[in-house]
Amino acid sequence: MSNGKLQTLERGIEALLLIAKTPGGLKAAELAVRLDLHRAVAYRIIATLADHGMVRRLSDGRIVLGAGAYLLGARTADSVRAMARPVLEELAERTRATAFLSIAEGNECVVALTAEPREATINIHYRVGTRHPIDRGAAGIAILATRPAQESDSEDIRFAREHGYSITRGQLHRGAIGVSSAVHLPGDGFAGLDFSIGVVALEELDTDTAAEAVPAASQALSQSFS
């Protein structure tokens, strides 16, 4: 401890802020140089942040923000949630179902934002922060469909990859129907973050309308960052 501060914690915060400010992320060696740290210390800091979902390592070794940092509001007023809110509200009204934005975090999918239609008799209330396995439910399946094909891919994933949206029934809630599409956000600033947008309702969801509205909402959100 120095001057009443925890040095390790301070270094971790400095690393997280530096990664957040660097479009496309940094490799561990670059982070060590920028923060004047021994490379072994930088690796330990990265490992700790990754364990808490604050950062993640891309296939080429770059370190970028993770879902945990996003959910804490690490992105500014220009955040995906701020841009997504009106898109979700319009989607909820068009489909008369609960609309949601989800983000992948490891083997889970996390609800980042929701919107409900103003007039609906029965809604599914999705709480922000709700988690579920990424291979269960429309939100996670839509994200998995954007990744390289695997022999183990389920029929739901194959369908989503072919059609541009996923549709599931009763996988997370009995009687619930979900439709979701992945959101492709442009620019290095979103590297490593996988989002999807969708709707969920009990029994009465008009899947034809949702199958048109959800991909359109995904495209609208993506274009808002262009």
43 shares its domain with 13: yes
CATH of the domain at 60: 1.10.10.10
Query: What's the whole-number mean pLDDT along residues 198-220?
Result: 92
Confidence of residue 30 (pLDDT cuts 50, 70, 90): very high
Residues 84 and 61 in one domain: no
Tell me the longest C-alpha to C-alpha distance in the chain: 62
Same domain, 25 and 125: no
Residue 4 reports pLDDT greater than 50: no
Domains held by the chain: number? 2
Assess whether 54 and 133 both reside in one domain: no
1: in domain: no
Residue 2 lies in a domain: no
CATH number of the domain encompassing residue 99: 3.30.450.40
Both 100 and 56 in a single domain?
A: no
Residues 6+ apart with CB under 8 A from 162: none
Closest CA to 22 of 58, 48, 59: 58
Domain assignment present for 133 = yes
> Do 60 and 110 belong together in one domain?
no
pLDDT exceeds 70 at position 220: yes
Residue 76 pLDDT > 50: no
73: confidence class by pLDDT, cuts 50, 70, 90: low
Residues 214, 189 share a domain: yes
To the question of pTM greater than 0.75 for the whole model, the response is no
Question: In the numeric block, which tokens belong to residue 63?
Answer: 């370190």
Residue-range definition of the domain harbouring residue 103: 80-223
Averaged confidence pLDDT in the chain: 85
How far is residue 16's CA from residue 221's CA, in Å, rounded to a whole number?
A: 26
In this structure, the dihedral spanned by the alpha carbons of residues 44, 59, 160 and 201, taken in order and rounded to 10 degrees, is 20
Tell me if residue 224 falls in helix, strand or coil. Answer: coil
Would 178 be classed as within a structural domain?
yes
Residues 55 and 136 both lie in one domain: no
Query: Are 87 and 199 members of one domain?
Result: yes
